[in-house]
Amino acid sequence: LSDAQKASRKIKKGLKTEMTKRLHDAVVKHLQEQKHAVELLSRAHNVTPKYVNDMIGSQTKYHTAHQPIGSRYTLGELREMVAEDPQMKNLMRDEKTTYVSALREHREQKVSSVRANNIAAARDVLVTTERVIKELDDLHVRTGTYATVYVVRGHINDMIQSTMHGTDNSEDFWEDVYDSPMADVLRQYEQWACTQNQIAVTGKKDITMNYNNYNTAIIETYAVKLVGWPQGVKFISPSNIGTVGEIRKLRDALKARTCYWAALTPAEVKLHTAELDACRSAGQVVRQPRKKRSDAGVARKR
């Protein structure tokens, strides 16, 4: 090996050692914080730390113990494991109530909680839509009913795949009565859905949210602003928010309409423009420049 190669390997080895040490220190810190949290819980509820640790273990081990990644136990296997677990026998009424409450809370969150990212949301839509379609097909076989389903995304940046389905020959209805194939109706429905919130406030279609240049591209251009953004949640695209807790906080604010779009009066727009002009005069960057193309300055074929 040359001297340069030896030096490079030494640097890499040093970096790897440092990363390993940082990980070790982080794990130790996490375990210490977990131990402290368990002690606080035991004092608050007048139980021993071992009792709290046993409860934590019982909530997780049935789904994870000795299972390959992505696989789960069947309901029968879970029931058998719980029945054979000595810690789950002879439970007091309060303990049973605690387990049942935790299960109900978990089920409610699973049904109604916002998905962590666009990929998870798209997967949820796919699975749910397939289940609904199967139920409607089975219902048609049992009762002879007809049904048509349209599922479309509500935002242009969503990764959801729009879907349509009609039981039996329901697709013929749209062509016979409205003279439009289902595919055309689906496309029009999707376009309509993706512009609903924009039209309601601005009266304009095809507006794309711009978080980087919000003050100029949105407030100054369209005379609207977002009111009541939750404190502690960074003002960025929801798909880039890092934690589920922050996503839920934003979802709850939007659902409760404490966070909403509001139209500005001409006086408010004029005041906002004056503030931006003052910032520009002071040399502040008001609008972030667009990223430069990697092939800028290179002649391209037309």
What is the residue-level pLDDT of the chain in tens, covering all 302 positions? 677 777 777 777 777 778 777 887 888 788 788 888 888 888 888 878 777 777 766 555 555 555 555 567 777 887 888 788 877 778 888 888 888 888 887 777 666 555 556 677 788 888 889 999 999 999 999 999 999 999 988 776 677 888 899 988 888 898 889 888 888 888 888 877 776 655 555 566 567 788 888 888 888 888 888 889 998 888 888 878 878 888 888 888 887 778 888 888 888 888 988 888 888 888 877 776 666 666 666 676 65
Rounded Cα distance between 148 and 139, Å, is: 12
**Which residues, other chains included, contact 198 with Cβ-Cβ below 8 Å and sequence gap of 6+?**
204, 205, 206, 207
Beta bridge partners of 151: 163
Rounded Cα distance between 219 and 226, Å, is: 9
Buried b / exposed e along 263-301 (16+ C-beta atoms within 10 A)? ebeeeebeebeeebeeeeeeeeeeeeeeeeeeeeeeeee
Indicate the DSSP class of residue 113.
S
**Which residues, other chains included, contact 286 with Cβ-Cβ below 8 Å and sequence gap of 6+?**
215, 216, 276, 279, 280
Distances (CA, A) of 127 to 28, 140, 159, 169: 40, 20, 14, 24
3-state SS class at 148: strand
**Pure H helices in the chain:** 3-44, 49-64, 75-84, 93-112, 118-143, 171-177, 182-194, 196-202, 221-222, 244-255, 266-281
Amino acid 292: pLDDT: 61
Give the residue from 215, 233, 234, 235 showing the smallest Cα distance to 225: 215
Amino acid 191: pLDDT: 77
